[in-house]
Amino acid sequence: MSVTAHADTTVHPNEPGTPMGKPELGILAFLGTEAVFFGLLILSYVYFRATDNSTPNAHVLDVPRTFIFSLCLFASSGTVVLAERALKRGNRRGLVLWLIITVLLGLTFLAGQGWEYAELFGENITPSRNTFGTSFFTMTGFHGLHVFGGLVMLSTLTGLAAAGDFKGPHSAAVTCVSWYWHFVDMVWVVIFTLVYALPYLGIL
């Protein structure tokens, strides 16, 4: 009988060939499903944009204003990176500070979306108006929900960090939330380009 290896019942160290831990792999797989989900919602918007000429359509949107609010979301992707950097240096106050700024930027974006929705509803542009309304509100609504979910997670991280968790230099929780936040941000890059920027520039 050859040598037996003892089963490690508490910790499973990662394989040498696996560069990432379980949380990182898990969040990547999760973002994969989310990418397909959003991809199809965006595809349905593009499809109706190409096949249905009814008005109102994307030209009723206030592009410059949404651009400013979008900048807040794009910037928040940068601040969350700064938060990670602060964590890496063991700077807990920096971590808390940058997380708070990230949350505030995200809230600003959501407020902008709420403003936009309120105006559109005021003009009777709703999900039941036409295919533009249906696909626009479904797509941006689900994005907004994901931003909200991200804010809940970021706020939780902020609270935990303020209470003394995350001594650094690495935390899987911070990394995963940050990746999720980048993902939400990238989805908005696609939506903003397709729905706001290209029609505004007269391309789509």
Note the residues at the interface with other proteins (CB under 8 A). 1-10, 12, 14-15, 18, 20-22, 25-26, 29-30, 32-34, 36-37, 40-41, 44, 47-48, 51-52, 54, 126-128, 130-131, 133-135, 137-138, 142
What minimum distance in Å lies between the beta carbon of 130 and other proteins?
Answer: 6
Tokens of 185: 């941000």
Comparing CB distances to other proteins, the nearer of 32 and 149 is 32
For the bound state, the minimum distance from the C-beta of residue 31 to other proteins, rounded and expressed in Å, comes to 10
Complex with other proteins: residue 69 or 136, whichever CB lies closer: 136
> What whole-number distance in Å separates Cα of residue 110 and Cα of residue 92?
27
Torsion, CA 71, CA 149, CA 79, CA 115, rounded to 10: 30
d(CA 131, CA 52): 7
Based on CB atoms, which residue is closest to other proteins, 14 or 156?
A: 14
Q: C-beta of 165: minimal distance to other proteins in Å?
A: 19
Q: How many CB atoms lie within 10 A of CB 36?
A: 10
How many CA atoms are closer than 13 Å to the CA of 144, on its beta-carbon side? 18
In terms of CB distance, is 126 or 193 closer to other proteins? 126
Report DSSP state, residue 13.
P
Minimum gap (Å) between residue 167 Cβ and other proteins: 24
CB nearer other proteins, residue 136 or residue 166? 136
| Residue indicated by tokens 């108006």 | 129
3-class DSSP state of 29: helix
Cβ-based nearer residue to other proteins, 6 or 118: 6
CB of 24 to other proteins, least distance (A): 9
Q: How far is it, in rounded angstroms, from Cα 72 to Cα 95?
A: 19
| Least separation in angstroms between CB 204 and other proteins | 18
Burial class (CB in 10 A: 0-12, 13-18, 19+), 75: middle
